Amino acid sequence: MLRAERSGNTLLLAACLVVAGFGNLGFFSRVLAAFPPQGGNLAALLSLAMVFFALNVLLFGAFAFGRLTKPVLTALLLVSSVSAYFLDSFGVVLDRDMLRNVVQTDLHEALDLITPRLLAYFVLLGVVPSLLLWRVPLAWRGWRRELLERAGLLGICLLAIAVLAVSFGGFYASFLRAHKSLRSHANPAYLLASAAKFAREGMMPLPNAQAAIIAADARIPAEDTERELILLVIGEAARADRFALNGYARDTTPRLREAGAISLDNVWACGTSTAVSVPCMFSPKGMARFEPKQADSEENLLDVLRRAGANVLWLDNNSDSKGAAARVPYRSFKTPAANTVCDSECRDEGMLVPLQEYIDGHPRGDIVIVLHQMGNHGPAYYKRYPEAFEKFRPVCRSKDLGECSREEIGNAYDNAILYTDHFLGKAIELLRRNDASFRTALVYLSDHGESLGEGGLFLHGLPRAVAPDSQLRVPAIFWFGSRFGDIDRQALLRERDRRFSHDNLFHTVLGLLEIRTSWYKPELDILEAYRRNIPDRS
């Protein structure tokens, strides 16, 4: 049977319909959240869908012509299908930085990104429509007629856009002004704009691309067949003495207490700022030898974990990883485009949302997920928690702490700790749900403390030598799932005032994953003294 020929215009319209409709579920669901479909909005939303479709036709109609029709439309379908997966699943916008990440990703990491759901998107939205496209014979009725018809189609699109934009002017003005982030979800227009930017700027080499290798001998022994799932939470500006688990008079940690978490009460930070403490925590050097300037030139804990075969992921709701995650998969959760839990600002718990899918998508190897919190970032503590967590009142509602009493500042600060307790409680819930298939553990450690008016000092960042204890003494919390039965929790709890520091993190995490390397020092592993030799489990 001879198949009916179709014009280039028909194929173009069909491909754009697939992309505009099915490839943009994330975009349209965000639009509907910003503009609920009721009353006057309804017609405007309908017009937006039409404008969106017309823009796609305009954009691709300029290239998908003649012999280029099928190759261009195929590329459009395949690229949009992958981009749609990231937008719908993670709210990850494929911007310039993401493209740089993708380009610099090694094969191992690229394979990490391939999940069954991604394949489903690729096949259903990319491969299947492309195959259908190639099965239809393309009609060609001479340059003159084809050009005229294409010009006619693009003209109609332009006209439609103009008419709709004028008719719903107010809606479009508010759409473009107040909801800037929505535009970045338009698939694949935004991706193409980013790619153009990326190509223009050239590929910037990572500043630390040639970091010196450490612990090259790291490996997980073959007899370790149980999989570990570790959530490593890096806190922000949290003080140990504001945690009820450490004896604070206010109940700032109800969920951690309920979960049976173990809080160490004598743990000291490497530095008094995020930029020093975070890279130092992951470095094998220890605070005595750590130099922030040299941190980028040497690998860190995360590189060792990855080399040993663990799946490593860094999620960030703070400024960034300060170089610690330079060579591991990284996602920022700072904007509503990436984080699904945002009110006045994007919340730490948004980082937990995509984790179950990530865990399910990695059926082999240990998993270590770093969650870098916004936590108690000052001075606007009152912004660091949703309204429901405003338990201690009155609170300071100014960034200028001088305008508030110490009591008001402390109240806002404690509310933010209460929200961190809630966040950690939810992280533990996630681990509990995975307890049957993993040895699960939560490790929480703050990067530094905070001054809250003692001695007239506020915030943090004083040189270590002169910094008050409040900036250096940090909360450190462990929670273990049922399969970590080899750790004697009662003994650890009894000795919770033993002195430790950020220097212990490197070795403690290696110990949790049972990684063998000559760089591991058992005497620096906080948990080593509490491991019971359980008779062979087999």
- Residues near Zn ion (CB under 5 A): 236, 274, 447
Least distance CB 270 / Zn ion (angstroms): 11
Annotate 352-377 with b (16+ C-beta within 10 A) or e (fewer): bbbbeebbebbeebbbbbbbbbbbbb
3-state secondary structure (DSSP) of residue 394: coil
- Closest to Zn ion by CB, 184 vs 274, is 274
What's the CA gap between 196 and 211, in Å, rounded?
Answer: 29
Question: Nearest CA to 320 among 236, 202, 232?
Answer: 236
- Min CB(281)–Zn ion separation in Å: 11
CA separation for the pair 217, 308 (Å, rounded)? 8
283: left (phi over 0), alpha (psi -120 to 50) or beta: beta
Q: What amino acid occupies position 483?
A: R
Which helix (H) or strand (E) is 267 found in, with range? Answer: strand 267-268
Instruction: Please say which residue, 133 or 270, places its beta carbon nearer to Zn ion.
Output: 270
Q: How far is the CB of 237 from Zn ion (least distance, A)?
A: 5
What does the alpha-carbon distance between residue 412 and residue 450 come to, in Å, rounded to a whole number? 13
Shortest distance, position 446 Cβ to Zn ion, whole Å: 8
Nearest residue to 17 (alpha-carbon basis) of 64, 50, 65: 50
Closer CB to Zn ion, 236 or 503, in the complex = 236
Nearer to Zn ion among residue 112 and residue 236 (C-beta): 236
Q: Using CA atoms, how far apart are residues 537 and 233, in angstroms rounded to an integer?
A: 30
Counting Cβ atoms within 10 Å, is residue 488 exposed (0-12), middle (13-18) or buried (19+)? Answer: middle
Question: What is the radius of gyration, based on Cα positions, of the chain?
Answer: 27
- Name the residue nearer to Zn ion (CB basis): 76 or 269: 269
- The answer for 186, left when phi > 0, alpha when psi is -120 to 50, beta otherwise, is beta
Residue placing its CB nearer to Zn ion in the complex, 69 or 318 = 318
Q: How far is the CB of 454 from Zn ion (least distance, A)?
A: 18
Phi, psi values for residue 479, rounded to 5°: -140, 135
Our CB check for Zn ion shows the closer of 334 and 439 to be 334
Minimum distance of Zn ion from residue 273's CB (angstroms): 6
Residue 73 or 280 with smaller CB distance to Zn ion? 280
Q: Which amino acid is at 55?
A: L
CB of 503 to Zn ion, least distance (A): 18
| Residue nearest to Zn ion according to CB distances in the complex | 274
> Smaller CB distance to Zn ion: residue 239 or 483?
239
> Which residue lies nearer to Zn ion by CB, 220 or 351?
351
- Which is closer to Zn ion, CB of 274 or CB of 434? 274
75 contacts: CB under 8 Å, gap ≥ 6: none
Q: How far is CA 504 from CA 265, 303, 421, 491, 534, in A?
A: 14, 17, 23, 18, 24
Q: What is the DSSP letter of 344?
A: S
Smallest gap from Cβ 416 to Zn ion, in A, equals: 13
Residues 6+ apart with CB under 8 A from 335: 181, 342, 346
Quote the CA–CA distance of 509 and 486 in Å, as a whole number: 15
3-state secondary structure (DSSP) of residue 213: coil
Tell me how far, at minimum, the Cβ of 321 lies from Zn ion, in Å: 12
Least CB distance to Zn ion at residue 450 (A): 9
Whose Cβ is closer to Zn ion: residue 80's or residue 274's?
274
Contact 125, 80 (CB under 8 A): yes
- Residue nearer to Zn ion on the CB measure, 238 or 428: 238
Shortest Cβ 275–Zn ion spacing (Å): 8
Strands in 200-265 per DSSP E = 228-235, 262-264
Q: How far apart are CA 278 and CA 280, in angstroms?
A: 5
Dihedral sign for Cα 215, 216, 221, 226, please: positive
Minimum distance between the CB of residue 458 and Zn ion, rounded to whole angstroms? 14
Q: How far is the CB of 274 from Zn ion (least distance, A)?
A: 3
